[in-house]
């Protein structure tokens, strides 16, 4: 594997910092002119077989956990619980006083 060029590194940095998946145009707005698609293809190949991957969802690109590693994160996620009707009534009484 050869080290990525500065343009590919810039594309990688933009994707990593993005809060939501990005279109090619959005990535290009950050990194300027260049072959964004080729950079994404190179990054996709570079990340193949690793714990994270660059994936395309429709016309948008993003980092995500590798599918075979996702189970490790699911067990740590806390599930929010809904309060029972009695619990809500109790909190309402406490808040009222």
Give the pLDDT of the chain (97 residues) as one tens digit per residue.
Answer: 667 799 999 999 999 999 999 999 999 999 998 999 999 999 999 999 999 999 999 999 999 998 888 777 766 556 788 889 999 999 999 998 8
3/36 Cα distance (integer angstroms): 17
For residue 52, the model assigns a pLDDT of 93
For residue 77, the model assigns a pLDDT of 56
**Strands 60-65 and 52-57: what pairing?**
antiparallel
The structure tokens 């050869």 sit at 2
Domains with residue ranges and CATH for the chain: 6-68 (1.10.10.10)
pTM value? Answer: 0.70
Buried (b) or exposed (e) across 86-97, using 16+ Cβ within 10 A? Answer: eeeeeeeeeeee
- For residue 31, which of 20, 16, 46 has the smallest C-alpha distance? 16
């Amino acid at each position: 594997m050869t080290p990525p060029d500065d343009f590919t590194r810039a594309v990688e940095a933009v994707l990593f910092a993005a809060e939501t998946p990005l279109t090619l145009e959005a990535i290009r707005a950050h990194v300027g002119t260049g072959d964004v698609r080729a950079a994404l293809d190179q990054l996709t190949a570079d990340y193949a077989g690793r714990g994270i991957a660059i994936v395309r969802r429709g016309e948008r690109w993003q980092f995500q956990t590798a599918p075979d590693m996702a189970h490790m994160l699911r067990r740590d996620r806390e599930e929010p619980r809904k309060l029972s009707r009695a619990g809500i009534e109790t909190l309402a009484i406490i808040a009222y006083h």
